[in-house]
Structure 1
Amino acid sequence: MYMNVYLLFVSISHMTDTHSNTSTVTLIILGMASHSRTGPKSARKRKCFPDSVSYPSYSDIDSQAPKPLPFKPIHPFGIDLGSMRQAVQSTSNMMLREIYFFMLFFTQAVVADICSFTNRQGWELVLNCPSYSSYQGAWMEVTPDEFYRFLGLLIYIGFSILPDSHRHWGTKSLQGSWARGFMSHDRYKALLAALHVVDPTTDDNQDRLRKLHYLMDHLKQKCQQLFRPNQNLAIDERMVKSKARSGFKQYMKGKPTRWGFKLWVIATSDSGYTLVFNVYTGSHDGRVTDLATKVVESLLQPFKDQGHNVWFDNFYTSPALMVKLFEMGTNACGTCRVIVNCFLQNLKTSYDGNARQLVGI
């Protein structure tokens, strides 16, 4: 009785040639072996493989490597506040307060729209739950000034160590007196229940992010409008910690934040400023083939044909993605697991001895 055992070990070792003083990358492959349990060792079938295959090192001149695309940005690099500076300031010529920077993203126009959506939802809320209404039994409409105070309370409670939000309105600590100076606890709960950042009449039940699209699209637009990136960009995942009950909350083992919402993010390599982000809602429509390629193509749509250098890790790196990015007018470089990403995906491809093509750059 015979049994085939397939063994595949791939290792990379750096060897130094004393005569040429150059570094050589050696790819050693130990392959298939077939043997019999009962027969003698001399009768076992063996297949010989070459001991090693040498490739040029990264320090060697590569005459076949494509030339990098030139960097031709549409907008000059740097901060571009434009007319937003006058929109948040009335008397000062410098942005000296934190609220001015906050209002660059949460502008008065978008806050007015959110107030309109919340009031529309609030009138429907008091019909089903009268406890959220005013003393006259009607919905007390929220104004932009009150909504800014509400946002301030949300941010403050998020940094607080108290276990329950209602304790911020308690009478046994100074924190309760601070929160009551802005709004009552009942009003806070009413705004939290009626809060809507999208028009309630335009909800699409087929979209899992239907209640966030308006605000997300606005924030993406402001992120790209207020800061123009340099040539180097980075793509990676980001976890937003959350204990909410949601169907697309993710778990990532080994991360500092293991439970939360997973974001695909493209940011500047020098400052880490977020330019574009997308929320991963899970594979509810079935297993997505080539997810990494679709993620990168979606994030890079605003930066096509500008010659940016995009950097990412081995989750995204593949020869097919490198070709697509080059066709999109974007230079790319990524780390690579030789066994998983390169060897298995290019098993039927004959390498031409170019070590750069082995890692997809």
Structure 2
Amino acid sequence: MDEQQIEDMLRRLENGDISEDDLESDGENIPYNPYLGALAAELEDDEDVLTGQDNSEDFLDQPLIQDEQLVQCAQSLERVEAQPTESLMNLRNLLWRKQSFLFDENNIKFGGSEELPSSIMKLQSPYQFFIYFFTNPFMENIVTESARYAVQKQPDRPEIFTEGELRKYFDILIFMSVYHYPSTRSYWSNKFSFSPIKEAMPINKFEKMRKLLHFNNNDDHLPVDHVQHDRLHNLRPIITHLNEKFSSVTIEQRLSIDEQMCATKVGHFLKQYLPNKPQKWGFKLFVLCNLSGFAYRFIIYSGKEANEGSSNSQNLGVVGQTVMNFLSVVPRQRNHIVYFDNYYTSLPLMCILAKQGIHSLGTIQRNRLGKTCKLPTKQDVMKSSIPRGSYEEYVTNFEGIDMTTVSWKDNKQVVLASTYVGACPVGNIERF
């Protein structure tokens, strides 16, 4: 493909000319389970129940979704601030003292409630939980937008499906996420068919619905060169709805912010590669979770773009402001605790959170502590004469907030920063 063809394809993707679920696999038709190669070979000759051309495609999960308030920060998460802020100037003048941080459990006593609302407590079956998140108005809107897209695509003979058929379609997707076959059409094979799927809907109907599934009006999609162009326009209603429903669940005391991958084999310009994740290829999401992994809020990374209009009145940078937007659903002055890694951790961010009654703990890059912090260097810590488990702690006061940083020797040097706990209490653990 030449450059012009590539640009045309990207515009089609962004302008909604291709259905959200009608995606094509990039490269080889890789089976879900590598041990099913023999099964796939037998299935090639089994066409008794299949009509039309045998274009077997791997089932492609739809990427997850995000909240309108967060989209501007998501588009510019990796932008680097060029000018030093007032907080950065204060950071350079910090006075660090080598001493232990005084930990007091009363300072982190949770002032909120972790009891679930009655609307959730009365739910008893998996189906009722599904309906709580995927409400009837939500499903009706998908049917409406899919019908609109069908008319836009083929005005003379639009393919319209009902809400009941949409629920069956989602049921099939759930089954497919649990029972992995080499290709989508394998579930309808005479020899190796999966009865709950085969009896729910014909294969041709399923494939038509997959091509027509739509969530937003293409006529409202702003062009690529528009200042308010949204790369995730086609998913925007789903993003907003799910984030509202997720955050309606009672928020627990201890929270975590991190990246996750929505694995996919589809070829897409938003696809990312994260080598340290179990699923290395897919759509990158930033997620606010509790300790059990339930997501209260999430955004999809939609590209590295400068966005001068994003709100950043606290001079936290794009990443810090994204954390603040994530935590906007968290009640203040209740002693919530948030954990993050060194991508997010900075002293100005932790200071602002502490002033709002949210404690924090995270690994931190050594150069974010300022030159006045005398923590040992990596070369000093990793000397053979320094036993594993050794640590060194420094404390400071940043704009009225007591903070601590600890250097700890594990397989490598680990540097932590916190506003509520230091190295103490110290104990022994068994390593495997």
| Structure 1 length-normalised TM | 0.67
Whole-Å Cα distance in 1 between the matches of residues 211 and 247 of structure 2? 31
Shift in alpha-carbon separation, 1:68–1:335, aligned structure 2, 3 A = farther
1:57 aligns with 2:100: yes
Tell me if the contact between 1:223 and 1:274 (Cα under 8 Å) persists in the aligned partners: yes
- Matched to 2:175, the amino acid is Y
Q: For 1:211, which of 211, 221, 234 is the aligned residue?
A: 234
Distance in 2, matches of 1:202 and 1:72, equals 44
> Secondary structure of the equivalent of 2:157?
coil
For the residue of structure 2 that corresponds to 1:237, the secondary structure is: strand
Are positions 1:188 and 2:206 aligned together? yes
Q: In terms of Rg, which structure is larger?
A: 1
SS in structure 1 of the partner of residue 298 of structure 2: strand
Other-structure match for 1:325: 353
Change (3 A) 1:181 1:336: same
Q: Which amino acid aligns with 1:213?
A: R
Match of 1:78 in 2: 115
Alpha-carbon offset, residue 235 of structure 1 = 1.4
CA drift of 1:348 comes to: 6.0
Aligned length: 277
Q: Which runs of 5+ in 1 are unaligned?
A: 1-52, 86-93, 128-136
Q: Distance in 2 between matches of 1:140 and 1:242?
A: 27
What is the deviation of 1:104? 0.9
- Structure 2 Cα separation of the partners of residues 336 and 284 of structure 1: 25
Once the two structures are TM-superposed, the CA of residue 194 in structure 1 deviates from its matched residue by: 1.1
Segments of structure 2 that go 5 or more residues without pairing to the other structure are 1-95, 224-228, 311-315, 376-393, 397-402, 406-416, 420-432
Distance 2:217 2:356 in 1: 35
Q: For the residues of structure 2 that align with 1:99 and 1:265, how far apart are their CA atoms?
A: 25
Question: Which sits farther off after the overlay, 208-217 or 239-248?
Answer: 239-248
Give the match's secondary structure for 2:143.
Answer: helix
Partner of 1:240: 262
User: Are 1:254 and 2:276 counterparts?
Assistant: yes
Q: State whether structure 2 residue 215 is matched by structure 1 residue 197.
A: yes
Question: 1:169 is matched with which residue: 174, 188, 195?
Answer: 188
Query: Structure 2: how far apart are the matches of 1:147 and 1:327?
Result: 47
8 Å CA contact 1:238–1:264 kept in 2: the answer is yes
- Secondary structure of the structure 1 residue equivalent to 2:140: helix
Residue in structure 2 matched with residue 335 of structure 1 by the alignment: 363
Distance 1:110 1:156, change over 3 A: same
Q: Which structure dedicates a bigger proportion of its chain to strand?
A: 1
- Structure 1 residues 153 and 57, CA gap change in structure 2 (3 angstroms): same
Q: CA deviation at 1:214?
A: 0.5
Q: Does the residue aligned with 1:79 lie in a helix, a strand or coil?
A: coil
Alignment partners' CA distance in 1, 2:285 and 2:323: 12
- 2: CA distance between counterparts of 1:95 and 1:354? 47
* Cα deviation code 1:138-175 (max 9, x no counterpart): 33422111110011112222333322212222233232
Q: Which has the higher contact order (CA 8 A, sep 6+)?
A: 2
State the Cα distance separating 1:107 from its structure 2 match: 1.0
**Counterpart AA for 1:148:** R
Q: CA deviation at 1:80?
A: 1.6
Cα shift at 1:242: 1.2
Q: Out of 297, 304, 308, which is 2:324 matched to?
A: 297
